């Protein structure tokens, strides 16, 4: 992930892989917003990375 206008944004290859979803819109006060969420596939992916890291750390 990288910062875009002060907000964390996933790289395009992670979006293409279906690991994140990005919601954009306009708040009630007229300000634009972006919201990034993990998809179920992304949760499995990050859990696998964490498990691999824990296995090497132990």
pLDDT tens-digit profile of 12-44? 999 999 999 999 999 999 999 999 999 999 999
pLDDT of residue 5: 82
DSSP state of 4: E
Q: When comparing pLDDT for 7 and 36, which is higher?
A: 36
Domain-wise residue ranges, the chain: 2-53
Q: Which residues of 31-43 are buried (b: 16+ CB within 10 A; e: fewer)?
A: eeeeebeeeeebe
Is pTM beyond 0.95? Reply is no
What's the farthest any 2 CA atoms get from each other in the chain?
50
Q: Which of 5, 3, 14, 8 is nearest to 35 (CA)?
A: 8
């Amino acid at each position: 992930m990288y910062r875009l206008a002060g907000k964390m944004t996933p790289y395009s290859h992670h979006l293409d892989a279906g690991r994140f979803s990005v919601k954009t819109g306009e708040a009630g006060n007229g300000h634009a917003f972006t919201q990034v969420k993990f998809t179920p596939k992304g949760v499995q992916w990050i859990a696998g990375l964490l498990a691999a890291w824990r296995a090497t750390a132990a």
